[in-house]
Amino acid sequence: MSELRKAGLTVERDGDGYRLRPDRLDATEFEELLATTRTQSESVRHEEALASLEQALALWRGPALAGLADVTEAERLEDLRVAALENRAESRLALGHTLDLTELERLASEHPLRERLRGVLMLGLYRGGRQAEALEAYAEIRRALDELGLEPGAELRALQGAILRQDTVLDVEPESVRSSRHLPASATPFVGRRAEVDAVTELLRGETRLVTLTGPGGAGKTRVALRAAHELADAFADGVWFVGLARSSIRRSFGPPLPKRSGSQRRR
């Protein structure tokens, strides 16, 4: 008991026994840091996210809950650790840093069906001048998924196509371009709609000052606009910004809620 307290852990009486305060456990701190990095990544603050991820991963000193019977919780924590490693690799790629490809290749072999991990490895290999190996990494996961009657997702297929074309979108962007995007992060990958995005960017790179996208609700107008803005970041000296015009967005951006009109006002 005294050794646990010396290690900085808080031990409390619990009936006839003792228990550790969960808020002082490495696992709890790790999950809190991981949640913080998610917010930082969504705000495109990759330097802060990378620092938080390094701090979170430094808490790991071996297998989670080694020797304990709770296998399900250990597996959950291990899955979060791999997700943190994926996040760290993505932040490093976003900042133009090199990756530890040996570690990524080992992780990919241990988790052969994780598409996000495979995508990070493919991009890391490609940027390291190893295009053939990047394509082979794609072929490996395609074979593994094919045995289960599945195929790689749209995002991974799009990455393979970009590597085959040696698309410049895979190159490292200057920090000035990355920091000029003041846009919300997309909850899911943007796939397709290339013609619409190209049409919008072509107009705005020319003399057109205002472009309006029309269509029924849920057609993807906002996503097309955000993708076009993402690609236009280098075209405007003051960067690109998102201003939501929904009532809730206006409230968050410009102050207190708008006053509600009475029934008589509505009738007039």
117: exposed, middle or buried (Cβ count in 10 Å: 0-12, 13-18, 19+) = buried
- Tens of pLDDT along 229-261? 888 887 888 888 888 776 655 455 445 555 555
Is residue 183 domain-resident?
yes
CA distance 95 to 87: 12
Q: Is the pLDDT of residue 59 over 80?
A: yes
- What is the overall mean pLDDT for the chain? 78
Is residue 249 domain-resident?
yes
Q: Is the pLDDT of residue 267 over 50?
A: no
Please give the pLDDT value at position 7.
46
Domains of the chain: total: 1
CA distance 82 to 97: 19
pLDDT cut 70: percent of the chain above it: 72
CA distance 21 to 19: 6
Q: Which residue has the higher pLDDT, 56 or 246?
A: 56
Q: Is the pLDDT of residue 211 over 60?
A: yes
Is residue 166 domain-resident?
no
Q: What distances in angstroms separate CA 68 from CA 8, 10, 65, 176, one per listed residue?
A: 21, 20, 6, 49
- Tens of pLDDT along 68-112? 656 788 888 889 889 889 988 888 888 888 888 998 999 999 999
Is residue 264 domain-resident?
yes
Element containing residue 241 per DSSP (H, E): strand 240-241
Looking at 23-37, 71-85, 156-170, 218-232, which range is the least confident one? Answer: 23-37
Is residue 57 domain-resident?
no
Under DSSP, is residue 11 helix (H, G, I), strand (E, B) or coil?
A: strand
- Considering only CA atoms, which of 184, 176, 169 is closest in space to residue 234? 176
DSSP assignment, residue 169? G
Please give the pLDDT value at position 1.
46
Residue partners of 68: CB distance under 8 A and separation at least 6? 74
Length of the chain measured in residues: 268
Is residue 107 domain-resident?
no
DSSP assignment, residue 15? T
Is residue 226 domain-resident?
yes
| One-letter amino acid of 88 | R
- Tens of pLDDT along 135-151? 999 999 999 999 999 99
Q: By residue range, what is the domain housing residue 254?
A: 174-268
Please give the pLDDT value at position 228.
87
- Whether the pTM exceeds 0.75: the reply is no
Q: Is the pLDDT of residue 9 over 80?
A: no
CA distance 62 to 24: 18
Please give the pLDDT value at position 266.
45
Is residue 244 domain-resident?
yes
Q: Which residue has the higher pLDDT, 16 or 182?
A: 182
Q: Which residue has the higher pLDDT, 55 or 144?
A: 144
Please give the pLDDT value at position 70.
61
Kindly state the average pLDDT of the residues 32-37.
78
- Considering only CA atoms, which of 25, 33, 80 is closest in space to residue 52? 33
